[in-house]
Amino acid sequence: MCAIASEPSEASAVRRREGPLPEKPLFTVELVIFTIRADRLHVLLVERADQPRKGWWALPGGVLDLRRDDSIEACALRKLAEEAGVHPPYLEQLKTYGSRDRDPRGWTATTVYFALMASERVQLGGNQAAGWVAVQGDRVGLDLALDHARILADAVERLRSKLEYSHIAVHLLPEEFTLPELQRTYEIILQQPLDKSSFRRRVAQASMLEEIPGKLRDGSGRPAQLHRFRDYDRRTFFPRSISRHAR
Amino acid sequence: MCAIASEPSEASAVRRREGPLPEKPLFTVELVIFTIRADRLHVLLVERADQPRKGWWALPGGVLDLRRDDSIEACALRKLAEEAGVHPPYLEQLKTYGSRDRDPRGWTATTVYFALMASERVQLGGNQAAGWVAVQGDRVGLDLALDHARILADAVERLRSKLEYSHIAVHLLPEEFTLPELQRTYEIILQQPLDKSSFRRRVAQASMLEEIPGKLRDGSGRPAQLHRFRDYDRRTFFPRSISRHAR
DNA sequence: GAAATAGTGTCTATCAGACATTATGGC
DNA sequence: GCCATAATGTCTGATAGACACTATTTC
């Protein structure tokens, strides 16, 4: 039994005992953090402080630290805490991108996670410039470093397809929200209007929300009932696709 | 700009110029290859020829080769050719597993792909013992090395959930097949009987198959019309979930 | 003709979409 | 009262599931 050596000298010793160790790709973790602001889907981007593509806008993330990170997901959570100061209500592994030529440093592998959260919860407190950028279609109005535009497009597609049959949009809202706000969130992401009656029937059937006796008042019109997500851990799925048959 | 050095000595030179290079996890690719044999879902397993867990049964795969593999997917295709002698009709990235303790060698990251193919197309020609093992539920009747039981369970779950709304089961059959055979494939994987009329209506609506003027004869009963998958590249989806409302 | 399997037709309960109607607040 | 928005009620076309029926082969 042999363990990965933590010092280069030990690694060389292992290499002599067991033959040449394989060269490894540089391994990084990146994050696609979505939120809703001002009726638009936004993604968190940072200005790269290091090479490669220093100064370009990019997805937050960085190199895995074998000493601090027990797992890839732990690394993603650490970077989320560093970049956004939060433990996100929803985190899911998206995909791993790895090739010889996606990064000028050479062979890299990057596991990408995507997170959903209410923008109010985020503390942009990193040491680098960071900000929310509106998503239009499946892209952003900036040139992104490396293959990050492609990664973002994949993440947006995954978000949309998951919204068709799951409840995960609630994680984009604060803990208390109204049904019209939730419906609006779906409409923003799916980019199409939804029927109010059908939407509420669907949400009610999933029985994933509970009413809060208080009320929310708007600038005009009848106040809307506040709701809370019933069980943050339970996975609720809609029995049918939401928007595939929409007008 | 610096590239990953291919020789340890060059790597050291780079390290001196740019500060300490981060330690990297060992990066491997593993495959979950499914097929249907004798009315059962089977997965391809190999007996490990190397440490760790030498002699145990495990998913096929191995360490990424920075020199030969241009990308992670290219590595998966190379290993598929080595283990099963085929370019598979369906290959999809499943997930990446990475942690300090999932492998006695220390920190490893493993990107897992899952493939579907007709068992007739597979040439078990590797240099190691390999064979098809029946899947019961979401596991196999053997103890698997490392965390491969968990990986297999995740792959079976993904296969099942994808079958609910996609056509991918056709890739488990030979190029020409009958509708009863396709339906049987769905029933085997979903582990529940499906209504013949509803199934055929669904397949017809997706218009993903075309008839072949020839016929297949069985041991008994009326011969069934042979069909062919219309477009191997097009992605066809069913408008509604298949079995969620089944009896 | 009987058995076995392939393939089609029909009925019905369900339900998503559409849209009308009612409810409740501010002004 | 008027406006704006929230929330509910009702109608209808579409369809998945259930199952009966017909078709075509072997024995």
Query: Higher model confidence: residue A9 or residue A119?
Result: A119
Predicted confidence at residue B126, as pLDDT, reads: 59
Give the nearest chain B residue to A8 (CA atoms).
B23
Q: Which residues are A95's β-sheet partners?
A: A112
Who's near A219: CB < 8 A, 6+ residues apart? none
Query: Higher model confidence: residue A207 or residue B99?
Result: B99
Question: E-assigned strands of A72-155?
Answer: 90-99, 108-116, 130-136, 139-140
Give the other-Cβ count within 10 Å of B166's Cβ. 15
- Give chain A positions within 8 Å (CB) of B6: 23
Q: Do B95 and B112 contact (CB within 8 A), yes or no?
A: yes
A4–B25 CB contact, under 8 Å? yes
Q: How far away is chain A from the Cα of B240, in angstroms, using its nearest Cα?
A: 6
List CB-based contacts (under 7 A) with strand D: A 178-180, 196-197, 200, 218, 220-225; B 195-198, 201-202, 205, 215, 217, 219-223, 239-240, 242-247
Q: How far is the CA of A213 from the C1' of D16 (A)?
A: 39
Q: Is the model's pLDDT at A239 over the cut of 90?
A: no
Alpha helix stretches (DSSP H) within chain B: 8-18, 72-84, 148-165, 179-190, 196-206
Measured distance CA(A60)–CA(A47) in Å, rounded: 9
Q: Which residues are B113's β-sheet partners?
A: B31, B93
Q: What number of helices (H) and strands (E) belong to chain A?
A: 5, 11
What mean pLDDT do residues A201-209 have? 90
Q: Which two tokens stand for residue A9?
A: 């000298």
Query: Higher model confidence: residue A27 or residue B166?
Result: A27
Report phi then psi at B130, rounded to 5.
Answer: -145, 155
In this structure, are strands B26-37 and B108-116 parallel, antiparallel, or unpaired?
parallel
Measured distance CA(B56)–CA(B49) in Å, rounded: 9
Q: Do A43 and A132 contact (CB within 8 A), yes or no?
A: yes
Confirm whether any atom of chain C, the nucleic acid strand, is less than 7 Å from CB of A193: no
Measured distance CA(A3)–CA(B101) in Å, rounded: 10
A22–B23 CB contact, under 8 Å? no
Question: E-assigned strands of chain B?
Answer: 26-37, 40-47, 57-58, 61-63, 90-99, 108-116, 130-136, 139-140, 176-178, 209-216, 224-229
**Chain-wide mean pLDDT for chain B?**
83
Residue with tokens 């990446």: B96
What DSSP character marks residue A135?
E
Taking alpha carbons only, the member of B144, B150, B126, B154 closest to residue B53 is: B144
Which nucleotides of strand C are protein-proximal, with an atom < 7 A from a CB? 3-10, 15-20, 23-26
Confidence of residue B86 (pLDDT cuts 50, 70, 90): confident
How many contacts, defined by CB atoms under 8 Å, are there between A and B? 126
Measured distance CA(A186)–CA(A189) in Å, rounded: 5
pLDDT in tens, A65-106: 999 999 999 999 999 998 878 888 899 999 999 999 999 989
Q: How far away is chain A from the Cα of B156, in angstroms, using its nearest Cα?
A: 18
Q: Which pTM was predicted? A: 0.85
Predicted confidence at residue A55, as pLDDT, reads: 83
Confidence of residue B230 (pLDDT cuts 50, 70, 90): confident
Q: CB distance from A128 to chain B under 8 Å?
A: no
- B120 to A40, A99, B85, B162: CA distances (angstroms): 51, 32, 11, 23
**DSSP-derived 3-state class of residue A176:** strand
Which nucleotides of strand D are protein-proximal, with an atom < 7 A from a CB? 3-10, 15-20, 23-27
Measured distance CA(B131)–CA(B44) in Å, rounded: 6
Q: CB distance from A233 to chain B under 8 Å?
A: no
Measured distance CA(A178)–CA(A159) in Å, rounded: 21
Q: How far away is chain B from the Cα of A96, in angstroms, using its nearest Cα?
A: 7
pLDDT in tens, B99-136: 999 999 899 999 999 999 998 877 776 566 888 999 99
Comparing CB atoms, the residue among A22, A27, A245 nearest residue B109 is A27
What DSSP character marks residue A180?
H
Report phi then psi at A217, rounded to 5.
Answer: -105, 145
CA diameter of chain A = 77
**Chain-wide mean pLDDT for chain A?**
83
